[in-house]
Amino acid sequence: MGLGKRTARAALVAAATVGLGGIAVATAAPASAATIIGGIDVSRQCAVQEWRPLQARLLDPGNAYSWRCHSPYTGIDYGVDMNDACRRQYSANAFSVLLDARNAYSWRCAR
């Protein structure tokens, strides 16, 4: 998830500017906030993610990481690439954002 990388990068810049012993103090520019651009259509993603169309399957609505793309032919479940879903649905620079890990329906796309 891109937002976490940006936040970590800003923290590293801020830590580096403090210097040894906390003598030098500088401010880092704030990380730009992501803009939510829409939701993720998991069914659509499952239809295009693998070499043949799969069905979206939710194992636990209380767990955001329980989405699967299910093959009724083989019985195999595949993970859903939420970042790829955002890129396919919106634009090449879109990425997924999870608002609440305890809510499977809280995935969003941002840029």
Q: pLDDT digits over 53-96, tens only?
A: 899 999 999 999 999 999 999 999 999 999 999 999 999 999 99
pLDDT digits (tens, 9 = 90+) for 27-48: 444 556 889 999 999 999 999 9
Sequence-ordered list of residues with C-beta below 8 angstroms from that of 49, at least 6 positions apart, any chain: 69, 78, 80, 81, 84, 85
pTM over 0.75: no
Per-domain boundaries in the chain:
1-33, 35-110
Is the confidence at residue 11, as pLDDT, over 80? no
**Residue 24 identity (one-letter amino acid):** A
Q: Locate all alpha helices (DSSP H) within the chain, ordered by sequence.
A: 2-18, 42-49, 82-89
